[in-house]
């Protein structure tokens, strides 16, 4: 895929999420959350740099970015902190909130990152399903999780409130609802700058931006 394809895709996504912004604002669906934001973090953060991703498990662009993000995290695991937060855009991705529930349920059982990976890797299988929980139960079984306990967490107010708390935190940034959204030390990145010359998400493109931030925060 060309870089022009990705730019066009981002433009289309921006138009769609504009509708979501208005709808969510009118509905106020996340404003009543009483939970605490999630805290899914990897990395030793020796350079005092934090990269946050707000993601939607049903978002095709998020799934395209996921393998690259994993490589970036592995590359900088001893230098920066990476954090994932939920941003399910339910008006355009009807199973997104359910998938976030699955990830948070797995998190309560110590398997968040493993479920995160399975949801993105198998997005095409569950995204259009009328019963996505059957897929999520299968992934939980693959991870060795007790299904009764997994389903109890999945259906809990605790999980629901944590996802809504993530939405509330994102709303406080003032950014337009869009996924994935990457925020590096408080600065929202332009996704077009994360695409390489081959037209795909690029570890090198991420690295150029992260290295510049590390240098700024850690002058020699």
Q: Count other C-beta atoms under 10 Å from residue 192's C-beta.
A: 12
What lies within 8 Å, CB to CB, of 202 at 6+ separation is: 68, 194, 195, 196
What lies within 8 Å, CB to CB, of 148 at 6+ separation is: none
**Closest by CA position to 142, among listed 104, 115, 112:** 115
pLDDT of residue 153: 98
pTM for this predicted structure: 0.86
What lies within 8 Å, CB to CB, of 56 at 6+ separation is: 62, 86, 87, 88, 89, 93, 96, 179, 180
Q: Token match 């973090």: residue?
A: 41
Integer-rounded Cα Rg, in Å, for the chain is 17
Give the pLDDT of the chain (220 residues) as one tens digit per residue: 555 554 455 544 544 444 444 344 333 344 455 789 999 999 999 999 999 999 999 999 999 999 999 999 999 999 999 999 999 999 999 999 999 999 999 999 999 999 999 999 999 999 999 999 999 999 999 999 999 999 999 999 999 999 999 999 999 999 999 999 999 999 999 999 999 999 999 999 999 999 999 999 999 7
pLDDT of residue 1: 54
- Does the bond joining 180 to the residue before it have cis omega, within 30 degrees of 0? yes
- Ramachandran region, residue 144 (left: φ > 0; alpha: ψ -120 to 50; beta: rest): left
Burial of 120 (0-12, 13-18, 19+ CB in 10 A): buried
pLDDT of residue 33: 54
């Amino acid at each position: 895929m060309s870089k022009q394809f990705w730019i066009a895709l981002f433009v289309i996504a921006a138009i769609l999420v504009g509708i979501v912004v208005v709808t969510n604002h009118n509905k106020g669906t996340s404003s009543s959350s009483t939970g605490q934001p999630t805290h899914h973090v990897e990395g030793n953060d020796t350079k005092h740099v934090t990269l946050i991703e707000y993601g939607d498990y049903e978002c095709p662009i998020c799934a395209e970015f996921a393998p690259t993000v994993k490589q970036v995290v592995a590359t900088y695991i001893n230098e920066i902190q990476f954090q994932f937060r939920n941003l399910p855009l339910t008006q355009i991705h009807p199973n997104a909130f359910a998938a976030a529930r699955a990830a948070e349920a797995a998190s309560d059982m110590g398997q968040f990152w493993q479920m995160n990976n399975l949801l993105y890797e198998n997005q095409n299988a569950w995204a259009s399903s009328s019963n996505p929980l059957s897929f999520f139960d299968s992934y939980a079984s693959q991870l060795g999780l007790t299904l009764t306990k997994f389903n109890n967490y999945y259906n809990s107010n605790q999980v629901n409130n944590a996802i809504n708390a993530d939405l509330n935190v994102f709303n406080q940034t003032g950014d337009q609802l869009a996924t994935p959204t990457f925020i590096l030390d408080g600065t929202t990145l332009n996704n077009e700058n994360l695409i390489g010359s081959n037209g795909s998400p690029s570890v090198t493109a991420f690295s150029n931006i992260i290295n510049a931030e590390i240098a700024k925060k850690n002058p020699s």
